Amino acid sequence: MSGREGLTLSKIVHYFFGIIICSLGIMLTYFSTTATTGTVDPSMFTPIGLFVALLGGLMLINKED
C-alpha cells in the first residue's frame, strides 16, 4: 500500500485558493507598479502584492499529508 489517497476535495480546494491568492498578488503588484500617482503613492502596495503572491505560491507547492 502506498498510502496515497489520490485527488481529494480538500486538495482541490487547497490548490484553487492557492491559484486565487497568487493571482491576486500578481495583479496587485502589476497594478501598483503601472498606476499613476494620485493621493496615495501606489508603489507602497508593491511589497504587499509580492508577499501575497509568495503566500499563494507557497500554498501551491505545499504538500498535504
Q: Label residues 16-44 b or e (16+ Cβ within 10 Å = b).
A: eebeebbeebbebbeebeeeeeeeeeeee
Q: DSSP H helical segments within the chain, as ranges?
A: 9-34, 46-61
pLDDT digits (tens, 9 = 90+) for 9-49: 888 888 899 999 999 999 999 998 888 877 778 888 899 99
Alpha-carbon torsion, ordered 7, 58, 26, 13, to 10 deg: 30
pLDDT band at 6 (very low <50, low <70, confident <90, very high): confident
